[in-house]
């Protein structure tokens, strides 16, 4: 399994940067250079990577079409091996939402714009409840979108109707206190 993980990391890195050195791969993967060298030679022998050049300072590596297929195969294999963790997390989030709302369907919003936010959104969208969007404090907002949604200012978040704000990122107590007199309840999904 460790060998497969290393192969995947090398293939992914070589695909993104053909001029990557063995030393750089070594530091990125937290492996010694000899182990990276051995893995690269094995990948070259299998036809997954091509080596170009002889001067150690100018060597480049290129992923082959077979290497792309192998990288995809390894990614699916890892995903398949770990899908049960996602299913557990999904069930936990859904159960916590239902418990917090006592089973009553309310509007849902997400505070945060990170991986936890994306996973939470997948749960929310599967529940088919009214989703209001992703929110953050003004100082944390960037121009990036999350799952094709603009991240909105928390100042725009109003409690006109009953809503549950799912916290997927750390939120200051001051911000949470602002919701005390609104129809907004919060549920922290992070520790």
Tens of pLDDT, residues 36-88: 999 999 999 999 999 998 887 788 899 999 999 999 999 998 888 888 888 89
Between the CA of residue 53 and those of 20, 60, 76, 121, 122, what are the distances in Å?
13, 7, 32, 47, 46
**Residue 132's domain is classified under what CATH number?**
3.40.50
Kindly report, residue by residue over 85-131, the tens digit of the pLDDT.
888 999 999 999 999 999 899 999 999 888 899 999 999 999 989 99
**Does 79 map to a domain?**
no
Residue 189 C-alpha from the chain's centroid: 16
User: Does the structure show a pLDDT above 80 at 175?
Assistant: no
Which pTM was predicted? 0.65
Residue 106: inside a domain: yes
What CATH code is carried by the domain that includes residue 45? 1.10.10.10
Q: Find, among 57, 58, 76, 80, the residue nearest to 68 by Cα.
A: 76
Q: How many domains does the chain have?
A: 2
User: CB–CB of 11/67 below 8 Å?
Assistant: yes
For CA atoms 94, 98, 100, 106, the dihedral sign is: positive
> How many CB atoms are located within 10 Å of the residue 24 CB?
14
167 vs 165: CA distance, rounded Å: 6
Separation CA 159–CA 47 (nearest Å): 59
For residue 160, pLDDT over 90 is answered with no
How far apart CA 100 and CA 12 sit, in angstroms, is: 41
Say yes or no: 63 and 141 in one domain: no
**93 within domain boundaries:** no
Same domain, 10 and 65: yes
| 67 and 107 assigned to the same domain | no
Q: For residues 105 and 35, state if they share a domain.
A: no
Asked if 6 and 69 sit in the same domain, the reply is yes
Q: Is residue 157 part of a domain?
A: yes
Rounded CA gap, 40 and 22, in Å? 9
Residue 17 belongs to domain spanning: 2-73
Q: In this predicted model, what pLDDT tens digit does every residue of 139-151 receive, in sequence order? A: 677 777 888 888 8
Q: Evaluate whether residue 86 is within a structural domain.
A: no
Residues 115 and 65 in one domain: no
Instruction: Look at residue 49 and give its three-state secondary structure.
Output: strand
Tell me the HSE value of 164 on the side-chain side, using a 13 A CA sphere.
24
């Amino acid at each position: 399994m460790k060998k497969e993980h290393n192969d995947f990391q090398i293939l992914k890195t070589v695909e993104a940067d053909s001029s990557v050195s063995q030393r750089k791969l070594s530091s990125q993967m937290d492996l010694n250079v000899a182990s990276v060298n051995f893995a690269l030679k094995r990948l070259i022998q299998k036809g997954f990577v091509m080596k170009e050049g002889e001067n150690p300072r100018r060597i480049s590596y290129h992923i082959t079409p077979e290497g792309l297929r192998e990288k995809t195969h390894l990614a699916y294999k890892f995903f398949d091996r770990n899908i049960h963790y996602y299913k557990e997390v999904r069930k936990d989030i859904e159960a916590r939402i239902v418990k917090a709302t006592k089973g009553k369907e309310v509007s849902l919003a997400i505070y945060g714009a990170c991986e936890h936010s994306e996973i939470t959104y997948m749960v929310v969208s599967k529940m088919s409840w009214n989703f209001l969007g992703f929110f953050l404090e003004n100082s944390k907002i960037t121009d990036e979108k999350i799952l094709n949604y603009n991240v909105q200012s928390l100042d725009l978040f109003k409690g006109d109707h009953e809503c549950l704000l799912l916290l997927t990122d750390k939120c200051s107590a001051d911000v949470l206190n602002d919701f005390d007199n609104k129809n907004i309840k919060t549920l922290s999904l992070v520790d």
